[in-house]
Amino acid sequence: MNDAQLLRYSRHILLDELGDLGQQRLLDSHALVIGAGGLGCSAALFLAASGVGHITLVDHDEVDLTNLQRQIAHSTERIGQAKVVSAQQAMLALNPDIRVTALQQKADPALLDQLLPTAQVVLDCSDNFRTRHMLNKASVEHRVPLVSGAVIRLDGQLTTYDPRQPESPCYACVFPPDQAPEEVSCATMGVLAPLVGVIGSLQAAEALKLLTDLGSSLVGRLQMLDGRSLAWTEMRLRRQASCHVCGTDKRS
C-alpha cells in the first residue's frame, strides 16, 4: 500500500483483527454483487469504501424515480441510466482506488460460470426466487461463499452459505425450489427504506469478514430483522442430505 492508501484505510488498519495484512487482502480481492437495487447499492458502496480491489456489479435495469427512496447509490440526475453504471459512478467517486466492472445484463448460468471462478465472495442482492436459486447453484458448483440478503415491507433476512464448509446448508436447503413462495416485490408490497440499508451494509460486513477470515460467519444461522420493533431473531439452519443442489451425493 502507498501512503495515500495507508491513510484512507487507517481505521481498518488500526483494528487488531484486520491490520495492514487484512486490508491488503481486501485490495487483492474480487467481490461479485448481483443486483444494484436497494441491497446492492448499500453493499456495493461499503465494499468500495472498504477497499475491495475489484467489484463486479450485475443488473439489467435502469434507474427509475421510484428507486430513489432507498437505492442510495443512484441520484435524480441519473434517472434513465443503467443502474450498474450509476452505481459504478457513485463507487468510484467514493473511492477511485478500486476497479468496478459494470455489467448491464440479467444474470444467467453462462455469465455466473464465467464470473464466479474469478471471485472470492458473491453477494445475492437480487429480488426474485429464480435468480436466487440460479446463483445458489453456481455458488455450490464453484465453491464460492454466498452472502444472501432480503427485505420486504418491514422485514429483513441475512445469512451466508459457504460450500467450502462441509456442514453448510445452501439456499435450496432452506428454501426448496419445489416449495416456492408467492413472488412479492416492493413495487406491490412496499418497503421501509432504511431496512435495505441495514441488510445491505451487513451483507458487505459479512463479505469483508469472509475475505479476511475475520471472526465467525453466519453459516448455519439465519438472522431475521423485524423493523417494527427493531428486534433480531436467529434461526439455526442445517444442510439437507436430500438437497438436489448440495446434498450428500453432490458433495462426493
**pLDDT reported for residue 181:** 65
Q: What is the mean pLDDT of residues 21-28?
A: 98
Instruction: Delineate the domains of the chain, giving CATH numbers in brackets.
Output: 3-250 (3.40.50.720)
**pLDDT reported for residue 179:** 73
DSSP string, 20-75: HHHHHHHHT-EEEEE--SHHHHHHHHHHHHHT-SEEEEE---B--GGGGGT-TT--
Q: At what angle do helices 83-94 and 38-50 cross, to 10 degrees?
A: 30
Choosing from 125, 170, 173, 186, the catalytic residue is 186
Contacts of 87 (CB under 8 A, 6+ apart): 36, 40, 41, 44, 45, 57, 73, 74, 102
Confidence of residue 252 (pLDDT cuts 50, 70, 90): very low
Q: What is the mean pLDDT of residues 91-103?
A: 98
Q: Give me the chain's average pLDDT, please.
A: 94
Contacts of 213 (CB under 8 A, 6+ apart): none
- pLDDT above 70 (res 69): yes
Q: Alpha-carbon distance 74 to 80, whole Å?
A: 10
pTM score of the predicted model: 0.94
Q: Dihedrals φ, ψ of 88, to 5°?
A: -60, -45
Q: What's the pLDDT tens digit per position in 211-244? A: 999 999 999 999 999 999 999 999 999 999 999 9
Confidence of residue 251 (pLDDT cuts 50, 70, 90): very low
Q: Alpha-carbon distance 144 to 56, whole Å?
A: 15
**pLDDT reported for residue 215:** 93
- pLDDT above 50 (res 169): yes
**pLDDT reported for residue 183:** 64
Alpha helix (H) residue ranges in 148-221? 171-174, 186-189, 193-212
For 73-94, letters b (16+ CB in 10 Å) and e give bbeeebeebbbbbbbbbbbeee
Q: Tell me whether residue 125 is one of the annotated catalytic residues.
A: no
